[in-house]
Amino acid sequence: MKKNDYFLHFLISHAKNYGFIYPSSEIYGGLNAIYDYGQYGVDLKNNIKEYWWKSMTQLHDNIVGLDSSILMHSNIWKASGHIKKFYDLLIDNKDSKKRYRPDILIKEFLLKNNYPKKEKILFRLNHLLKKNDLVGIRLLIKELNILDPKCKSNNWSDVHLFNMMFKISEKNEKDVLFLRPETAQGIFSNFSHVKQSSRMKIPFGIAQIGKSFRKEIIARQFLFRMREFEQMEMQFFIFPKEEKKWYTYWKKFRLKWHLELNLGEKNYQLQDHRQLAHYASAGTDIEFHFPFGFKELEGIHCRRDFDLKRHENFSNKKIRVFKEFQSYIPYVIETSLGVDRLFLAIFSSSLKKEKLKNGNYRIILKIPNYLSPIKAAIFPLVLKNGLPEIAKKIFNEIKIDYKLIYDKNPSIGKLYRRQDAIGTPLCFTIDYDTITTNTVTMRYRDSMKQKRIPIKKISNFIEKETGMKKILKKLSNYI
Ligand code: ATP
């Protein structure tokens, strides 16, 4: 097994064994590219969403929130272009019966084989994609003699297109509904409501977090490409002539936001789009170094007035703002980030195997403290002499403010290892000295250093070490 494959395998089993991510419906054989979040996964995910939500809707006083429905009128998808244009390419291998995205097949082939004329081939591929030349794409696969990565056969089908939206009702044409493939259209279709009720003036933004669904060709990249996933999207409505200014601002701010997570500056790169989506006039991806290489984490797009204009035409309702006695349709800068992709970025870059001084290893999840599912663990050193009662009393007082764990496993070493593996930044041990001095031992996850602190200061320490305030304060300086 290659090093990267080995790491991904290790990461997936760690996520499952420690209650972060489970494969969905596993008792019935599982479902491809669908995952469930376990007890720690859901808290880590909620903390990620809180960091985004507060940064966007709390630090920016010109952005408001929205939670629109997943099911929407099918005309929304006609207007947005998803019914006509939200297609992916597909090729089947007739021997392995596996399906692939031909563009990804070609790109991965070039990357794996360090192909000498890589740039030339990529240029050709982009040209073929632009022209929608399906025959040409198949010929390119044949010409490069690309084999099925699983069964090494070159017995390929034709390349075809398929719509990526899940249709959920087709009794008759009028009743067709789709599971939304992006949250953005809920924002556009509510633009007039939000503007009116919030009394926001251009420039202002609408942010929302919610589930999206796409019929992805399964790429087996864990949370990276799912068929049901969550997005954190923000549409920022602007004066058309300020497009460049706001595009630059959002590119910068979003990158800063990621860098503040402290996952390593070298893990990020910006990639301007060569091939633009049907709605976009410019676009950049913030790419992250996942276990399988640099891939898109967040997209920032100039959508111009594409969406609002289309909704105006399709709905026959004016969607406009007024300035100096003139009405116009605002332009839009979009920032779009996948919650699950960010979860994977954080999880994969934080999971480490560390060698200890005594030669043993520990598995540690060095996630940013303010995102950790459990902020602190509280243990009694022994299960007698009233220590469990003191520990439980401290736990009951502090749990009102922070998510804690109380554990009375008799082996303190095992307790520390388990907390390291789920990313708990602080552990507090109640021992015999606690009875006489009202102090406890505090142990840091990352340095494993220990010190004694008074019981009455535990809460302050947890806030200082794990609170989100510090990072939000820092971010607010960039706004
Ligand atoms: P890709 O090219 O990787 O398919 P995309 O360009 O189609 O991504 P967008 O439509 O711009 O993605 O969606 C915005 C964000 O939503 C992405 O940057 C990503 O973080 C997330 N996202 C998109 N598709 C998926 C998916 N299938 N699974 C998990 N997250 C996704």
Any ligand 1 atom below 6 A from CB of 214: yes
| Ligand 1 within 6 A of CB of 299 | yes
Considering 107, 136, 163, which residue would you say is the last residue of a domain?
163
- Using the mean position of ligand 1's atoms as its centre, give its distance from the Cα of residue 25 in Å: 23
Please state the atom number of ligand 1 nearest to the C-alpha of residue 342: 20
pLDDT band at 174 (very low <50, low <70, confident <90, very high): low
Residue 171 has pLDDT above 70, yes or no: no
Pocket lining: 230 vs ligand 1, CB cutoff 6 Å: no
Binned at pLDDT 50, 70 and 90, residue 1 comes out as low
The predicted-structure confidence for 233-288, as pLDDT tens digits, reads as follows 999 999 999 999 999 999 999 999 999 999 999 999 999 987 777 777 889 999 99
Question: The domain spanning residue 71 has which CATH number?
Answer: 3.30.930.10
Q: Is 79 in the pocket of ligand 1 (CB under 6 A)?
A: no
Ligand 1 centroid, distance to 301 Cα (angstroms): 13
Residues 58 and 145 grouped into a single domain: no
Average pLDDT of 407-412? 87
Confidence of residue 324 (pLDDT cuts 50, 70, 90): confident
Q: Mean pLDDT throughout 350-360?
A: 94
Position 173 confidence tier, pLDDT thresholds 50, 70, 90: low
Contact 225 CB / ligand 1 (< 6 Å)? yes
| 370 and 343 share one domain | no
Q: For residue 338, how far is its CA from the centre of ligand 1 (angstroms)?
A: 6
Determine the number of helices (DSSP H) and then strands (DSSP E) in the chain: 17, 23
Residues in the chain, overall count: 479
Q: Kindly state whether residues 399 and 416 are assigned to the same domain.
A: yes
Cβ of residue 283 lying under 6 Å from some atom of ligand 1: no
Task: Please tell me the residue having the least CA distance from ligand 1 atom 12.
Answer: 299
Residue 2 pLDDT greater than 80, yes or no: no
Same-domain check for residues 169 and 287: yes
In a domain, 3, yes or no: no
- Identity of the amino acid at 324: E
Q: Is 230 helix (H, G, I), strand (E, B) or coil?
A: strand
Position 170 confidence tier, pLDDT thresholds 50, 70, 90: low
Closest-lying ligand 1 atom to the alpha carbon of residue 216: 27
Burial class of residue 26 in the structure, from the number of CB atoms within 10 Å of its CB (0-12 exposed, 13-18 middle, 19+ buried): exposed
> Which residue CA neighbors atom 26 of ligand 1 most closely?
225
The answer as to whether 477 is a domain residue is: no
pLDDT value of position 172: 65
Helix (H, G, I), strand (E, B) or coil at 356: coil
Give the pLDDT confidence score for residue 271 in this predicted structure: 93
| pLDDT for residue 274 | 73
Task: For a ligand 1 pocket test, name from 231, 235, 297, 339 the mutation site with the most ligand atoms within 8 angstroms of its C-beta.
Answer: 231
Does residue 333 have its Cβ closer than 6 Å to ligand 1? no
Decide if 11 is inside a domain.
no
CA-proximal residue: ligand 1, atom 23 (nearest): 338
Mutation pick for ligand 1 pocket among 90, 341, 342, 343 (CB with most ligand atoms within 8 Å): 341
End position of a domain, from candidates 312, 347, 382:
347
63-65 vs 204-213, strand pairing mode: parallel
314 in any annotated domain: yes
Same domain, 223 and 154: no
Instruction: Quote the DSSP letter at residue 221.
Output: -
Instruction: Specify the number of domains making up the chain.
Output: 3
**pLDDT for the residue 130:** 86
202 and 260 part of one domain: yes
Rounded Cα distance, 440 and 318, in Å: 65
Q: Tell me if 268 sits within 8 A of 287, measured CB to CB.
A: yes
Residues 148 and 188 in one domain: no
Nearest CA to ligand 1 atom 6: 299
The Cα 63–Cα 245 span in angstroms is 17
Report the candidate in 313, 311, 306 with the shortest Cα–Cα distance to residue 330.
306
Cβ(307) – ligand 1 distance below 6 Å: no
Give the whole-angstrom CA distance, residue 351 versus residue 423.
9
Task: Render pLDDT for 231-241 as a digit per residue (tens, 0 to 9).
Answer: 999 999 999 99
Considering the domain architecture, whether residues 298 and 395 belong to the same structural domain is answered as no
The answer to whether residue 14 sits within a structural domain is no
Q: What residue owns the CA closest to ligand 1's atom 4?
A: 225
Atom 1, ligand 1: residue with shortest CA distance: 296
The reply to whether 264 and 331 lie within a common domain is yes
Mean pLDDT calculated for residue range 58-83 = 96
Q: Does any domain span residue 248?
A: yes
Q: Is residue 442 part of a domain?
A: yes
Of the three residues 116, 139, 163, the one that is the final residue of a domain is 163
**416 and 342, same structural domain?**
no
Residue 149 resides in a domain: yes
- Domain containing residue 391: 359-470
CATH code at 141?
3.30.40.230
The reported pLDDT for the residue numbered 116 is 79
CATH code: domain of residue 393: 3.40.50.800
How large is the average pLDDT for residues 185-192? Answer: 98
Counting atoms of ligand 1 from 1, which one is nearest the CA of 214?
Answer: 27
Q: Kindly state whether residues 251 and 310 are assigned to the same domain.
A: yes
Percentage above 90 pLDDT, the chain: 84
Pocket of ligand 1 contains residue 337 by CB under 6 Å: yes
- Do 133 and 149 lie in one domain? The reply is yes
